[in-house]
Amino acid sequence: MAQTISPSTVDATEVLDVELQNIVKTFGEETAVQGLNLQIRQGEFFGILGPSGCGKTTTLRMIAGFDAPTSGQLTIQGKSMHGVPAHRRSVNTVFQSYALFNHMSVWDNVAFGLKVKKFPKADLRQRVGEALTLVQMESFAKRYPTQLSGGQKQRVALARALVNRPAVMLLDEPLGALDLKLRKQMQVELSNLHQRLGITFIMVTHDQEEALSLSNRIAVMKDGQIEQVGSPNEIYEHPNTAFVADFIGDTNLLSGRIQQHPWTLTMASGLQVNIAPTHLGDGTPADISLRPEKIQLMAQDHTASPHNHANHHQGEVKHTLYTGPHIHCIIELTTGERLRVLQPNHIRYQPGDKVHVAWAAADCQVLAPSSSP
Ligand code: ATP
């Protein structure tokens, strides 16, 4: 899915569709969202990602107007949403559960909102027709939701939101109920729809791959706060914290102390990992993230060894896990650390094989501590 990578920070001159300033939401004793700041550009596909209970849905519900912030400022297209009810905001929400009316046909489901608003009949017919065409469901107009597949129901739910021509589409785990194959297909359709419409999409998901492949930018949340906002590439290649590194994809987290001259992370076992220069001072405790696909593996009986890398160690294969296109290998270094290494599936190692492991200093991402424990 081709997309332009947008800078992670928003320029003061850029047009914003949604802005959250210091938003807090409490439910009794429970703080669901604590001091959230977000700036979402017009036309952006913005992903909100994080584990269960981190406050994603609460954030979306506040933008939609289903919940009011306890404190803070929320603006949509420059206007404060304080006291503005959901139906007066130019946003529409699509839920994982579709929320379709089973006793109404597809056509009536999509037309429902416009009928409530007492739209003139001719306009209504045109808009409903257009919305169904956008999601390729025009030939299903007379069917009832119970006669549709999960993917078709989700398309109707999208049409029902799009018929209102919102400035901002809110998507709460929209593909969560679909099986993997259909989910992948619907991801492409969502991306196409976003590109064709040019409106802002804000999507909540806990599927990291989905967020990476669809979003222009992603906010990773933890315990009601934002850990990092950035383009998919920044979030994956340059995670700021151990939480982000671990939550987005697989990684090896190594803990130790920074040393200069040369720049290394020295671990308690004595393992020295060469790293790129960092702003952290000599002796500072730090974690690094090393992605499994950045590590090279080579059998020890191989004539060439991967000496051209800054880091080069010996180890033994402990486990292998076949996942189809890849094989995950767990390698135990002679110093005792275990590293997860990703290999293409045509290269087969067996537990017990002696191997060289090697990686570049630039592939060691030095992490800041997480915002909360
Ligand atoms: P999930 O991925 O499981 O949907 P989430 O990240 O969307 O999780 P939220 O639904 O926003 O998380 O919930 C954040 C926190 O706020 C949770 O601890 C949840 O229990 C709490 N919470 C949410 N809604 C309410 C409510 N109406 N009353 C009390 N607590 C709530």
pLDDT at 2: 38
169 in helix, strand or coil? Answer: strand
φ/ψ bin of 365: left (φ > 0), alpha (ψ from -120 to 50), beta (otherwise): beta
pLDDT of residue 116: 87
3-state secondary structure of 25: strand
Distance CA 4, CA 17 (A): 18
Ligand 1 neighbour 54 (Cβ under 6 A): yes
For residue 58, the tally of other CB atoms under 10 A from its CB is: 22
Burial of residue 209 (number of CB atoms within 10 Å: 0-12, 13-18, 19+): middle
Q: What's the rounded Cα separation, in Å, for the pair 346 and 331?
A: 18
Which atom belonging to ligand 1 lies closest to the Cα atom of 55? 11
Q: Is the CB of 66 under 6 A from ligand 1?
A: no
- Cα–Cα distance measured from residue 283 to residue 252, given in angstroms and rounded to the nearest whole number: 21
- What lies within 8 Å, CB to CB, of 89 at 6+ separation is 64, 65, 76, 81
Three-class DSSP category at 193: helix
- Interval between CA 27 and ligand 1 midpoint (Å): 9
Which strands form 365-367's sheet, in the order they lie side by side?
A: 272-274, 264-266, 252-259, 285-290, 365-367
Q: Which of 30, 66, 221 to mutate to test the pocket of ligand 1 (most atoms within 8 A of CB)?
A: 30
Q: Compute the distance between CA of residue 47 and CA of residue 214 in angstroms, rounded to an integer.
A: 8
CA-CA distance, 357 to 6, in Å (whole number)?
35
Among protein residues, the one with the nearest Cα to ligand 1's atom 30 is 27
Residues in the chain predicted with pLDDT less than 70, given as ranges, are 1-8, 12, 302-308, 369-373
Among 2.40.50.100, 1.10.10.10, 2.40.30.30, 2.30.110.10, what is the CATH number of 250-366? 2.40.50.100
DSSP state of 77: T
pLDDT at site 370:
47
The CATH architecture of the domain made up of 16-244 is: 3-Layer(aba) Sandwich (3.40)
Domain boundaries, the chain: 16-244, 250-366
> What's the pLDDT score for residue 274?
95
State the pLDDT at residue 77. 93
Give the pLDDT confidence score for residue 8 in this predicted structure: 67
Please determine whether the domains at 16-244 and 250-366 fall in the same fold group of CATH.
no
Instruction: Please tell me the distance from the alpha carbon of residue 165 to that of residue 79, in angstroms, as a whole number.
Output: 18
User: What's the pTM value of the predicted model, to 2 decimals?
Assistant: 0.88
pLDDT tens for residues 119-160? 899 999 999 999 999 888 999 999 999 999 888 998 899 899
The pLDDT assigned to 136 comes to 87
DSSP state of 345: T
Residue 208 beta carbon below 6 angstroms from any ligand 1 atom: no
The reported pLDDT for the residue numbered 304 is 60
**Cα(174) to centroid of ligand 1, in Å?**
17
Neighbour-count burial of 26, counting CB atoms closer than 10 A to its CB (0-12 exposed, 13-18 middle, 19+ buried): middle
Find out whether 245 and 251 touch, Cβ atoms under 8 Å.
Answer: yes
Element of type H or E holding 189? helix 180-197
Hey, what are 310's tokens?
A: 């800054």
Ligand 1 contacts CB of residue 101 (under 6 A): no
Instruction: End-to-end CA distance of the chain: give it in Å, rounded.
Output: 35
Question: Ligand 1 center to residue 69 CA distance, Å?
Answer: 14
CA of 211 to the centre of ligand 1 (A): 20
Cα 324 to ligand 1 centroid, rounded to whole Å: 35
State the Cα angle at 264 between 302 and 254, rounded to 5°.
Answer: 75
CA of 58 to the centre of ligand 1 (A): 6
Dihedral sign of CA atoms 166, 168, 172, 176 in order: positive
Give the whole-angstrom CA distance, residue 299 versus residue 319. Answer: 15
Q: Which atom of ligand 1 is nearest to the CA of 30?
A: 30
